[in-house]
Structure 1
Amino acid sequence: MTFQDSAPIGGAAATDQDETLRERMMRYTVAGMFFVGFAGKGVRGIFGDIGSLVPMLILLVAFVVLFRSSGRSLLLRRFPTTISLFVLWCGLTCFWSVDPMTSAQFWVLQCALTLVSIAVAVALPLTALVESLILSFQWIIGSSFILEVLVGLFGRGPLAPPTMWGRGLLPASSYWVDGLIFHGGPIQGFPGNRNPLAFVALLLAICLVLRYMQTRRALPSTLAWLAACGAVFLLTQSATVSLSTAGCVIVIAALVVQRRVPVRLRLRVVGIFAAVGMLVAIGAFFARHAIADAFGRSPDMSGRSVIWHAVEPLVRQRPIGGWGWFIGWPTWMEPFASLVIRPDGTPTNQAHNVYVEAALTTGFVGAFLVTAAIVWTLLRVVKVAVAHIDDNLWDVVPAVLMIAMFIQSFTESRMLFEGNWMLFVIIATWVKVRGEVPVVWPSAARQYLEYS
């Protein structure tokens, strides 16, 4: 064989190596973006609001370079319709916002995050996307335990974020971690808040369980990280995430049962589990006092009903277009500065409910659009999950993640912001593209589930 004959083989090997390296770099870059998105408070606490733009820009530039070098492109038909309409409406609210410049800044940030999220869904196959999620969530959980242990061993009282060192006594909500890990918690971890940390642990557990059910690989590491997630659940003492966890357990149990029953009985099984879920939700409502006592919280979900009642008059004043799009309320100005004051004297900066948040900032038009986007995406990913329950559990991961975020949407506004918004847009884009691909599904149940 001559050198000329062997050259293409070597060139092909080099090309494969380059592609493997590019895919690995893409996964790590996306994992870094998820880390910044889901642990943004910790990143801002270290670098400051302006300084935190530096790692964000580095990750963004790296992703754009990798995306372009991969030969992929963004096509308008890949954009989720209802999400795109909601983002456009957020931009329109800048014209009548109580603070137009701030709304415009937040809208630009929302546009950039939405575009990047769509590009991530286009750039990565679902398996690589799930691996990136797992990697980023492991970074958050691992760094949270390291931080909490260090503060618990060497710290004296609560630890303020580095950008606030030297300012003396701070409001309770301004501290990064309290250093209570050796006292049974609650812990805040790197995200600086127990609820986001617990939700990250839930999302990580979902990805790990379904990945193992599909691949049957890496059992020791899977069990170790599931144990870490369980420790986070216990130490954060997050009642709101406990509700999402209960819902996801029911969903995963339903999926396991679905794989073991005849196709003709599956619709009946779905109905049974749906009824069980409804009964659990109703039971939780009537037992809210006992549940609140178990978590040491108030029956109104730690004052959330107070926030919703305070927001209602503002929604009535501007029902159509809202007060302007904000990622977190501008608490330095009225009416937000005195709307709801926390026990530590600081103003509340979000509604702790996606739909109330959308109604306040973008009016009923925005609330309708975001509700339509959530419902459409949820129905679509569940349809894909049920259709592939027999042969591909990777396609089930987006459905369970979406169900977790949907349950959380009633007690948190985070689906509209940062990492949660990024994951929501990615799932919506994935299911839009996935729904356009013809599916070869041997099961007879396909007659009930079509992708059109």
Structure 2
Amino acid sequence: MTTSEARLSRLLGSVEMARAYTIAALSATFGSFLIERMTSMTTLATITLLLGVLGAAILFVRREELSLLRLAPSSLLAFLALGLISVFWSTDRSDTLVGWLWLFGYAVMAITIGHIRDTLQTMRALGDTLRVLLVLSLGLEILSGILIDLPIAFLDIDGNLAMGGPIQGIFGTRNMLGFVAVIALITFFIEWRTQSVAAPIAIPSIALGAFLALVSASPTVLVLAVAVAVATSALTIVRHTPPGRRNIVQWMLGALVATALIVAFAFRHPIIAWMGAGSDFSTRADLWNQILDFVAIRPFQGWGWFGSWQRGEYPFTYINYLLDDRHQSALNAFFDILLQLGVAGLLLFLILGCVALIRSWLVASARRSVLYAWTPLVLVTLAVDSMFESFTIVGAGWFMLVLCALRAGQSRSWRENIDAANTGVIPTLRPSE
């Protein structure tokens, strides 16, 4: 190895590079809409490509620290493989390949961060990134809605802050702002509880996240807030239960949640009316019914992976034509995957999410530090939001799903037993986690 190669290797494997890469990847992921509107889709694609290549280079330099078996969850690899294979039956192979490259690029970034930063470091980097982006969103909404009282058209900011919303900040839609605000609230609160951020920073951050979630006027925010509150309460109960009775409490809580879901489904129409989301739900119901008609044509393999519906492929354009609308997604991650990758893709996606949630929940319920609650609470947010939006299969939502699934698999996985058998060492989490 030459001197220049050795220097490059040291740079890629350094702590400073790990910290800088994490901040850059998080900023590009959550600020993707802003980057695209201020520059172009080509610029965003170039940034994503460079971060993906850099992430792969960092993992290669650190290959001695990594185990090939534990590089990524097997369900994630299978889902990515199915998405790539779908190019053979897709209605537009080039667009399917482009859509898959976006999926793969964000996955590589998330996998890289999951291996070079521990849970605390990841959470702190995410907290710092979201603080800046939320402050920027509020600043632009104040500029548009109060100071100049004019919309900022290229960012789709309508300037409704003075009227109490809805606002969307730099995230494109009010639902995306609400989703990001809930993720931020979870992160800010756990930062505060773990004392990784001082109260003078943590408390205003929580207030900022809560305010933006409120004025986003997103119908999904209330559902997300209730789901996270219920999950937090349940996790708190389990964590304070003696180990001998913990399994019984887990099953009781599971039965209670299942009962609550059945009751909520039975009384869905009064609940929707109370939330004032009747028109939104009616729109979604019409869309989902139309999607099921196309799913019936290709139930197992789907129509090929595309991600978002921004490009004009069949059957998406035809679905919008039949509905006389301009949907850019199925407004439900599960229906979107069912349409694009069929039953096979949906099963892999459910396995990826459910296994990650169960693993992270068991770890959080057994470990003393509240830090471990971050992963399952974020996964609960992703799961619930997937019922109303398709954020979890593109961009920041997909990035967070891969990151959380990798984090959960590092602490509870069948791979640990294989590693232990080969090395004679039982893998443990670092004390900072």
The residue that corresponds to 1:95 in the other structure is 88
The residue that corresponds to 1:193 in the other structure is 173
Secondary structure (helix, strand or coil) at the match of 1:422 reads: helix
TM-score for both structures, normalised by structure 2: 0.85
The answer as to 2:220 corresponding to 1:243 is: no
Q: 1:152 to 1:30 in 2, by over 3 A?
A: same
Match of 1:56 among 29, 44, 48: 48
8 Å contact kept, 1:319–1:363: yes
- Deviation, 1:316, is 0.8
Q: 1:70 to 1:117 in 2, by over 3 A?
A: same
Match of 1:37 among 20, 26, 29: 29
The residue that corresponds to 1:432 in the other structure is 409
Partner Cα distance (1:40, 1:156) in 2: 26
The answer as to 2:124 corresponding to 1:131 is: yes
The answer as to 2:61 corresponding to 1:82 is: no
The answer as to 2:111 corresponding to 1:118 is: yes
Partner Cα distance (2:268, 2:134) in 1: 29
Deviations 1:32-53 (A, max 9, x none): 3223223422221111211223
The answer as to 2:81 corresponding to 1:104 is: no
Q: 1:195 to 1:127 in 2, by over 3 A?
A: same
8 Å contact kept, 1:238–1:295: no
The residue that corresponds to 1:4 in the other structure is none
Larger radius of gyration: 1
Q: Any unmatched runs of 5+ in structure 1? A: 1-17, 162-174, 442-452
- Deviation, 1:306, is 1.2
Deviations 1:358-402 (A, max 9, x none): 1111111111211121122121111221221xx222222111111
The residue that corresponds to 1:23 in the other structure is 15
The residue that corresponds to 2:400 in the other structure is 423
Partner Cα distance (1:346, 1:43) in 2: 27
The answer as to 2:404 corresponding to 1:401 is: no
The residue that corresponds to 1:378 in the other structure is 357
TM-score for both structures, normalised by structure 1: 0.81
Partner Cα distance (1:219, 1:330) in 2: 42
The residue that corresponds to 1:357 in the other structure is 336
Deviations 1:300-321 (A, max 9, x none): 6262111110101111111121
Deviations 1:293-352 (A, max 9, x none): 454321662621111101011111111211110011255243322313699x65212112
Match of 1:334 among 307, 311, 314: 314
Deviations 1:95-123 (A, max 9, x none): 11111111012222322322232122111
The residue that corresponds to 2:423 in the other structure is none
How many percent identity over aligned positions? 23
Q: 1:264 to 1:359 in 2, by over 3 A?
A: same
Match of 2:164 among 163, 180, 184: 184
Q: Any unmatched runs of 5+ in structure 2? A: 1-9, 421-425
Q: 1:238 to 1:120 in 2, by over 3 A?
A: same
Q: 1:24 to 1:194 in 2, by over 3 A?
A: farther
Partner Cα distance (2:326, 2:65) in 1: 43
8 Å contact kept, 1:292–1:299: no
Q: 1:196 to 1:227 in 2, by over 3 A?
A: same
Deviations 1:118-147 (A, max 9, x none): 122111111111112112221221111011
The residue that corresponds to 1:312 in the other structure is 292
Partner Cα distance (2:134, 2:191) in 1: 18
Aligned residues between the structures: 409
Partner Cα distance (1:342, 1:383) in 2: 45
Partner Cα distance (2:52, 2:122) in 1: 17
- Deviation, 1:71, is 6.6
Amino acid at match of 1:49: M
Partner Cα distance (1:74, 1:310) in 2: 46
For the aligned residue pairs, the C-alpha RMSD in angstroms reads 3.0
- Deviation, 1:180, is 0.3
The residue that corresponds to 1:142 in the other structure is 135
Partner Cα distance (2:343, 2:56) in 1: 35
Q: 1:124 to 1:362 in 2, by over 3 A?
A: same
Q: Where in structure 1 do 4 or more consecutive aligned residues deviate above 6 Å?
A: none
8 Å contact kept, 1:353–1:411: yes
The residue that corresponds to 1:46 in the other structure is 38
